[in-house]
Structure 1
Amino acid sequence: MRIKYFLAGALALVSACPVAAERIIKSTALQTCMDNSDFSASLFNIALTPANRTASLDIVATSTLNGNISAKIEIFAYGINILTRDIDPCSLDISELCPISPGQFDIETDITISESVIKNIPGIAFTMPDLDGTAKVTIYSENSTQVACVQAVLTNGKTVDKAVVKWVTAVIAGIALLVSAFASASGHSSTAAHIAANGLSLFGYFQNIAIIGMCAMKLPPMTAAWVQDFQWTMGIIRVGFMQDIFSWYIKSTGGTPNTLLEALSSVSILVQKRALEYLPIVNRATLSARSNNESDLTTIASTYVLHGFRRIAYLAGIEITSLFLTGFVFFLVFTVFVVIALCLAKLIIEGLSKVGAVRFDRFAEFRQRWLTIIKGTIYRMVLVGFPQMTILSLWEFTRRDSPATIVLAVVMLLMVCGLLGWAAFKVIRLAQRSVAIHKNPAYILYSDAAALNRWGFVYIQFRATAYYFIVPVLIYMFVKACFISFGQNSGTAQGILLLIIELAYLVLISYLKPYMDRRTNIFNITIQAVNFTNAILFFFFTGVTKVPAYVTGVMGVIFFILNAAFSLILLIMIMVSCIMAILSKNPDTRYQPMQDDRASFIKSTQQLPDVLELEALGATVRGNAPKY
């Protein structure tokens, strides 16, 4: 009984989410749950409205039964049987069921449900977002022999997958980047570095939620809905006219676009979830295999079970053949948008300077090195999009939507890996040169403005002696991308390997503490600890542990509560830092000087440009000048 109290408490925590006012329970998919079932449905839409005690039915079914039948219905919520009742089909006033005849029949009607049945349904079933419920119906012949078994996944129309969550997280992450850029342009290097590092870590945490949601294991509905809130970080954003263009592009370049979303009125779609685990579904493997067959995706009169990338695409309203192109195009669009914004900022600042609205020395660094800053910004965008493009590109190799999309995937993968690999190589060379000449890796990395503006995104979040740590970060991202992309046929393997990867990375950063200061190390280690906790929960979702169904249901609720609370804390911390950076006259005083003394090197660059130019000239004469 304790599980019921836990779920009631969880309901109180999530009740702040916007929900629909109408109380309803509905289902849009029906599966058979025994071998040689004599009853199946290709279209199944049912909605129960307790306000008027009405159940609306829209069913296209096939039966080999003949004569009078009886049925038993069992309703499960989070693995717990909350209702069992015998039903006489003749009492439903549906002529097709009393008596039932072999063949296909259509049912489209409304039936009245007794008050006693409504009262036996717990109120949590109507209010808990992303209800993890299933109704199982066992059908018996006149001699009490079981002849059919079907089950329906239940939902109440309430979900934690909300547009407001997507917008709030995206806007605050964007504000952090803008404030960081403003602080840097204003000469507050320490503030800019901290906000940029924390903003990048925040975005990485959101990406990790989206990435782990792409795993192929069966997820509780609340978990599947919450990870969907962060798919925007992977470029999975639906725009109607763009989806039409992508379908045309796939078809025009030798591929066959899917039309599953166009066939929703005639097929049943079942988003694969944990609730099916406690029911004896014999044909689940067959249905899952069928859903992996591209030619079957548009077959009429079938039920398709979706998981992994298919689940993500379906819930986003995107055809599976357009998923790679969606992420690819949004990455390019966002990068181009940022570059255009920087160019406009350059023009505006110059214009204001000419009319005297801005002092001639205001934003001097940006005005003098704006091309180098734009190049560095492009590199930064590639780093942010690295998980997105590696996962989608590697996954496209397994799909092969069309020859053209394969070429795009190859080009994008080589580009992001090549650019970041080159950036890491250049930073390591600069640091080694600095150690050889000045006995300190921070000297060249921070005293040379050109290097800092172009390559700073690689090392500025780390302490100077950990300049190399971008390499472990890229390896961590790439290895995880490989398992997500190539492991779509085995959610169990993905769950085990992700658990190992997240643990290894947590141990690594906890031991090395590579970030710029104690505060930033605590921030990132805490985020990775939550990532590791998420990996533990997803390991249980694989079913390897064979825990009771209600335990997995509880873990799904814990996943949502943990990550919702943690995300809120991170967003508040970022917003407070941004507000302080904007309102403070000297926000750098909020941060302790970093032990690598980078601030003095940056300051010396700003105050003594002539000395640095002479030093650079001398280095050129000696033949050891760094090249960027």
Structure 2
Amino acid sequence: MLAPFILLASAPLGVLAGDILKTNGYSSCQDNSDVKVNNLNIEFDRNTKKITFDVSGTSEREQKVKAILIVNAYGQEVYRNEFNPCDENTKMDELCPVPAGNFAAKGVQSIPDSYISQIPSIAFNVPDLDSQATLQLKAVDGGEQLACITSQVNNGKSLSVPGVSYVAAGIAGAALVVSGLSALASAGNAGAPTSSPTFLEVMGWFQSMAMNGMMSVQYPGVYQSFSKNFAFSTGLIQWQAMQETIDSFRNKTGGNLTEDSVAFLKNATLIHTDSGMNYTKRSLDTILLWTRDELDTSVNGTEQTSQQDSKVMHTVSGIQGYVEELTIPNGNTFMTVLLIFAIVVAAISVGILLFKVILETWALCGNFPKRLTGFRKRYWWVLAKTITNLILLAYGIWVLYCVYQFKRGDSWAAKLLAGVTLGIFTAILAFFTWKIWSIAHKYKKMEGNSSALYDNKEVWRKYSIFYENYKRSYWWIFVPAIVYMFARGCVIAGADGHGMVQAAGQLIVESILLLLLLWYRPFSLKSGNWINIVIQVVRVLSVVCILVFVEELGVAQTTKTVTGLVLVVMQAVLTGLLAILIAVNAIIICCRDNPHRRKRKEAEKARDLDNLTPLDARNSLLMDPTEYKRSSIPAPFGNRGGYDPVPLSEQQTTYTGAQQFGEGHERLLGDAASFGGRDHSHKRSYSMERSQSPPSSRAPRLPEIDLGAPHGGYYDQGGYQRYAY
């Protein structure tokens, strides 16, 4: 009779391995029952058509019972069967009657095809489906309910798989590389934004999905498993050695490890109280599970307690349920994130220091490239800027974990570290906010605007990580973004255990940020505006879907399951689109021209004006005179004191002293003599000489007026000065 119980109980739930359905823990759905089940472990293999069962418990008195098996799938009753263990067709000697004291039954039974055909094939293929089976024992005499036990069934398939986490981490790593390449391509160009999606935007999206999974609502199993794939973005990385060290630290600083340690979680089966199943209060924490292979039955004996592999049924919900699914004890949550953050900072510091050592060695041993000189001079600033960037990235989840640590208590040292680090992080962000705001105010007062935040290379280098992707008039948007991260963390952690408050608070916070983005569209690039608006729209829709899971609203389980699938598909599609956009950005960066090389070419073209003609549009009064280098013939009267700002070339000769007097005198006399003559060759020569004079000599200039004593020139025969210079 255990066969149909498990078969049809498992028909609607879970999927993890081939064609196998099995129970996943159990719980009592009745307080103060006469019959207590201490063990329920049943597994069905469709290939072998056999069921393996292991059931044990205790009874206060000997009595005849009848059993009622109820199977629910997605909140709907799909199977109900009532049988008597004493009937000939369903005979079970160990339960007919139920003896006083201990009883146990375990073994392997073959299942008829008539029962197997009733199991939907979807039960073996769809991951994380919601189903549960309930077994009630009632007294034959009087119909009093003696016991109630419920269990979930799974088939080994789940959306919580390491491969998804690896792919998500790869997407985040690709975003980091592309953002770095974009920053290098625009190095030295103040005001150059980074193309979206950036590393901060991708990690922020992953953190949103992880934080959604931490809320205290009745999630369908499919979304509960899906959200765990992005736990790495919030610093939750399982490392057993580190968890054992944290346990030791907490034990020495006032922590309670009784039900909150790695050793406890190893021997516990987690039961989510917010999964829609019915549970008694803490009775689940004292029930044991046993799994044994050989066929055996016993009554009032101790054989059932030998060779046991016991597991404790442990109830969880909210943030606790999320972190303990990752084998991270609830009390270790903040310390885990703190150590992971410290490891990342240490790795980055060592990497930057190693790079500096390489540069210093290079400078001593060979020619050092000038473009790397800035890094050598600003090593400490680069390190401080990188750490500040990490703080900005982790601030939202840091607020969440610190507030959660304050709320749940435990180790006094952990609470102290949470308070100190949260204060330091908030102070650092507040300092940069004040500094940027004061600089913007100063330049706005002096110049009428705050464009210096983008145009001043030194200011840009120091503070651009906060506003580099925003328009010049909306540089201040980073302040509401920080407030948004703080508010979101406070709502989720502060209202842990109250799903309705969490969902309503999240909806308000996310909606305000969406309205801000739609109203201002603050990003410099159109792509940045659209990508961030789409991300925020999906965040708002995700919270709306989470409202469906709130227990107080009483939404049907079928609707919750469909909503969970929609939520998974919506978030997975957006994640895929972000990955595609990152790949597109990488291709664009690799294929486009280097901006520095393009600027050098433009500068060379601007200097190359040797092909000017008298009728060239560029040789006009609206342009500055340009240096003419190829001519060696000076202007007739030189370039002294003129309006032309361009100096004469080195090839042009300057006439001074006697040389000017002699040569200039002869030239003027020759010109005068030929003024009325017919010497056309001389005239042509002089015309050609005039036409070959440099552009600078033909530029308009103010008339020269010299009121001082002449310092050179020539005189006529009467002694009168004709020309002074």
What TM-score comes out, normalization by structure 2 length? 0.71
Higher RCO (CA < 8 A, seq sep 6+): 1
1:235-294 C-alpha deviation (Å, 9 max, x unpaired): 110111101111111112232224565346865531234442xxxx3x545669999xxx
User: For the Cα contact (< 8 Å) 1:72–1:85, is it kept in 2?
Assistant: yes
Displacement of 1:489: 2.6
> Retained in 2: the 8 A contact 1:166–1:229?
yes
Partner letter of residue 501 of structure 1?
V
Conserved 8 A contact 1:79-1:553: no
Q: Which residue in the other structure is 2:139 paired with?
A: 141
Three-state SS of the structure 2 residue aligned to 1:136 is strand
**Counterpart in the other structure of 1:245:** 245
Give the structure 2 partner of residue 187 of structure 1: 186
Alignment partners' CA distance in 2, 1:399 and 1:415: 22
Q: 8 Å contact 1:43–1:267 — kept in the other structure? A: no
The answer for the alignment partner of 1:619 in structure 2 is none
Q: Distance in 2 between matches of 1:69 and 1:541?
A: 37
8 Å CA contact 1:42, 1:302 repeated in 2: no
SS of 2:77's partner is strand
Query: What SS does the aligned partner of 1:67 have?
Result: coil
Whether 1:225 and 2:225 are equivalent positions in the alignment is: yes
| Alignment partner, residue 713 of structure 2 | none
The answer to which of 93-102 and 538-547 deviates more is: 93-102
2:702 corresponds in structure 1 to none
Amino acid at match of 2:402: S
The verdict on how the C-alpha distance between 1:369 and 1:267 changes in structure 2, with shifts beyond 3 A counting, is: closer
Change (3 A) 1:184 1:84: same
State how 1:454-493 maps to structure 2 within 5 Å. Answer: 454-493=462-501
What's 1:312 paired with? 322
Cross-structure match for 1:337 = 347
In structure 2, what is the Cα distance between the partners aligned to 1:326 and 1:231?
12
Other-structure match for 1:419? 428
Distance in 2 separating the partners of 1:34 and 1:303: 16
Other-structure match for 1:603: none
* C-alpha distance after superposition, 1:586-618 (max 9, x if no partner): 3899xxxxxxxxxxxxxxxxxxxxxxxxxxxxx
Shift of 1:308: 1.1
2:59 to 49, 52, 63: 63
Q: Secondary structure at the match of 2:198?
A: helix
1:29 to 25, 30, 37: 25
Deviation for aligned residue 1:361:
3.0
Alpha-carbon distance change, 467 to 192 in structure 1, aligned in 2, over 3 angstroms: closer
Which residue of the partner structure matches residue 160 of structure 2?
161
1:269 paired to 2:270: yes
Unmatched 5+ residue regions in structure 1?
1-14, 292-299, 590-628
Q: Is the 8 A contact 1:176 1:578 kept in 2?
A: no
1:265/1:73 Cα in 2 relative to 1: closer, same or farther (>3 Å)? Answer: farther
Q: 2:560 aligns with which of 540, 552, 555?
A: 552
Task: Report if aligned partners of 2:216, 2:274 keep a CA contact under 8 Å in 1.
Answer: no
* 1:115 alignment counterpart: 113
Give 2:417's aligned residue. 408
Q: Give the conservation status (yes or no) of the 8 Å contact 1:73–1:86.
A: yes
CA distance in 2, matches of 1:126, 1:581: 46
TM-score by length of 1: 0.82
Q: For residues 583 and 64 of structure 1, do their structure 2 counterparts lie closer, same or farther at Cα, with a shift above 3 Å needed?
A: farther
Q: Is the 8 A contact 1:287 1:305 kept in 2?
A: no
Deviations 1:441-484, CA, capped at 9 Å, x for gaps: 222x1233343233211111222222221221111111111121
Query: Distance in 2 between the 1:106 and 1:192 partners?
Result: 73
Residue in structure 1 matched with residue 446 of structure 2 by the alignment? 437
Query: Could you tell me which amino acid in structure 2 is paired with residue 168 of structure 1?
Result: V
Q: Separation in 1 of the partners of 2:328 and 2:313?
A: 18
User: C-alpha distance in 2, partners of 1:115/1:88?
Assistant: 22
Partner of 2:578: 570
With over 3 angstroms needed to count, the CA separation of the structure-2 counterparts of 1:286 and 1:250, relative to structure 1, is: closer
| Distance change (3 Å), C-alpha of 1:333 and 1:454 | farther
Larger deviation: 385-394 or 95-104? Answer: 95-104
Determine the structure 2 residue equivalent to 1:150: 149
Q: 2:199 corresponds to which residue?
A: 199
Structure 2 partner of 1:541: 549
Does the 8 Å CA contact 1:133/1:154 hold for their aligned counterparts?
yes
Q: Residue 587 and residue 249 in structure 1: after superposition, are their counterparts in 2 closer, same or farther (change >3 A)?
A: farther
What is the rounded CA distance, in whole Å, between the counterparts of 2:48 and 2:375 in structure 1? 66
8 Å CA contact retained: 1:198, 1:523 = no
Aligned to 2:389: 380
The structure that is helix-richer by fraction is: 1
Question: 1:225 and 1:587, CA in 2 relative to 1: closer, same or farther beyond 3 A?
Answer: farther
CA distance in 1, matches of 2:596, 2:77: 59
User: Whole-Å Cα distance in 1 between the matches of residues 268 and 173 of structure 2?
Assistant: 40
For the Cα contact (< 8 Å) 2:16–2:127, is it kept in 1? no
**Comparing 251-260 and 333-342, the one that deviates more:** 251-260
Amino acid paired to 1:553: T
The answer to whether the 8 Å contact 2:68/2:137 transfers is yes
One-letter identity of the residue aligned with 2:271: L
User: Considering only aligned residues, what root-mean-square deviation do their CA atoms show, in Å?
Assistant: 3.0
Contact kept? 1:44, 1:268, Cα under 8 Å: no
Aligned equivalents of 2:493, 2:22: Cα separation in 1: 33
Q: Quick check: 1:328 aligned with 2:327?
A: no
Bigger mean CA deviation after superposition, 542-551 or 317-326 = 542-551
Q: Deviations over 1:364-384 (max 9, x none)?
A: 543443322221111100001
Q: Comparing 310-319 with 40-49, which one deviates more in the overlay?
A: 40-49
Tell whether the 8 Å contact from 2:214 to 2:322 is kept in structure 1 after alignment: yes
Counterpart amino acid of 1:270?
Answer: I
**Per-residue displacement from partner, 1:179-229 (whole Å, max 9, x unpaired)?**
322332343569983247632111101101111211122211111111111
Match of 1:213 in 2: 213
1:505, distance to aligned residue in structure 2 (A):
1.8
Contact 1:140 1:146 in 2 (8 A): yes
Q: Distance in 2 between the 1:119 and 1:144 partners? A: 35
| Residues 538-585 of structure 1 deviation map (CA, whole Å, 9 limit, x = unaligned) | 111112332221001111111111111211111121122124323443
Which residue of the other structure, out of 366, 385, 395, is the alignment partner of 2:404? 395
Give the distance between the partners of 2:596 and 2:197, measured in 1 at CA. Answer: 15
SS of match in other structure, 2:553: coil
1:341-360 → structure 2 map (5 Å cutoff): 341-351=351-361, 360=369
Larger Rg: 2
Shift of 1:143: 3.8
Q: Give the drift of 1:108.
A: 3.9
Shift, 1:409, TM fit: 0.5
Matched-pair contact (CA < 8 Å) for 1:267–1:301: yes
Q: Distance in 2 between matches of 1:397 and 1:463?
A: 38
Which one of the candidate residues 78, 81, 93 is aligned to 2:77? 81
Contact 1:177 1:196 in 2 (8 A): no
CA distance in 1, matches of 2:451, 2:104: 75
Alpha-carbon distance between aligned partners in 1 of 2:558 and 2:595, rounded to the nearest angstrom: 50
